[in-house]
Structure formats: C-alpha cells, structure tokens
Amino acid sequence: MKKEKQLSVFLRNVPGELGRFADLMGKSNINILAMFIQNAADYIQEMFEARGKSIKRTASAASYGSVIKEAKEYSLIRVVVDRTEKALKLLNQANYRVNTSEVLVMRLDNRPGTLSSVSERFGDANININYVYGSGALDAKTAIYVFSVPDVAGALKSLSE
C-alpha cells in the first residue's frame, strides 16, 4: 500500500475521446495502472436526488437542470499512472482540465472478504471512504484498489497498526 497522486481529468463526452486520451498516454510511454470513468451528468443527477431525499436543497431545480445540461458534455476520468508528473504536464499541454489528489493504492489478495477487512479497519479508525475503484483478473492472485479517503496518512496508519 502506498500514497499516490490520482489525476482527475474531464473528457468530452463524445465517441473516441477515451481512445484519444489513452493514445496520448501510450505514445508518451505512460502506463495507466487504474482507471474509473463517470459521466458527469449522472453524478450531478445523483447528488440532486440525494439532496432532495436527505438534506435541504441549496439550489433550485432549474439551477440543477442547467448544470446537468452542461455536464452532459463531459465525463470525469480518474486515473493512477506510473509517471504522474509527466502525465500531468502532457495533459496540461494538451489543454485537458486536470486536477490531482492524494489517494491510497493497495494491492489486495484477490479473494472474497479482503475488501471487507480493509474497509472495516478504516471504519474502526473512523476514516470515511469517499470512493474506491479497482479490479483484478479472475485468475489473478492480487487486485489493485484505489481508495479516496480524507486522511491518507491516517488510513495508512490504521492499516499498519
């Protein structure tokens, strides 16, 4: 397990855009280690619905509607790559909108219950998991998981105790 920088990149939501992104990484010898893509409009719609059910809305339905309409033009891709600084420079030069954040990347045994065990340790340490993504091949002994947590150092400490 180790701390890594994750790149969050907005891609235009059009056919071929992921291919262009992957080609840019590949031609620059940057390996994508983990990836998660989410349609921005779906995310905003889910937030709007959750706010309507659980907490007081802070904006009108019309405001959310206009944001959702604009968001349909983009997808959010979160990636961990082997050459983060090079990828960040390359993406900025190519005029992609990109942000970085600290995440925890873990190689877990690829067997039932492993994710549960790690998640429970975070919970016991009062560390919230914002989101997680990962996978392993069916016949692989390990899987890679990327955890977004508010306190990466605290999460690392909770796993080492």
Q: Domain extents for the chain?
A: 2-160
Band of residue 63 on the pLDDT scale cut at 50, 70, 90: low
Residue range 124-140: mean pLDDT, rounded: 90
**Residue 157 or residue 52, greater confidence:** 157
Per-residue pLDDT for 50 more than 70? no
Contact of 21 with 12, CB cutoff 8 Å: no
CB 100 within 8 A of CB 9: no
On the question of pLDDT at 95 being above 60, the answer is: yes
129, pLDDT greater than 70: yes
CATH architecture of 2-160: 2-Layer Sandwich (3.30)
Instruction: Please tell me the distance from the alpha carbon of residue 61 to that of residue 84, in angstroms, as a whole number.
Output: 38
For the segment 44-51, the average pLDDT, to the nearest whole number, is 62
Query: Is the predicted pLDDT of residue 93 greater than 80, yes or no?
Result: yes
Give CA separation, 114 vs 81, 110, 142, in Å.
Answer: 24, 7, 10
Higher confidence at residue 127 or residue 70? 127
- Beta strands, E only, 13-156: 32-39, 74-81, 97-109, 131-135, 142-148
Q: Which of 17-21, 98-102, 132-136 has the lowest mean pLDDT?
A: 132-136
The confidence score (pLDDT) of residue 67 equals 62
- What percent of the chain shows pLDDT beyond 90? 60
What's the rounded Cα separation, in Å, for the pair 65 and 115? Answer: 36
Q: What is the pTM of this model?
A: 0.80
- DSSP letter at 63? H
Q: Is the pLDDT of residue 42 over 70?
A: no
Tell me what pLDDT residue 9 has. 93
Q: How many helices (H) and strands (E) does the chain have?
A: 6, 6
**Local confidence band at 83 (pLDDT 50, 70, 90 cut-offs):** very high
In one-letter notation, the amino acid at residue 46 is: E
Mean pLDDT, rounded, of the chain: 86
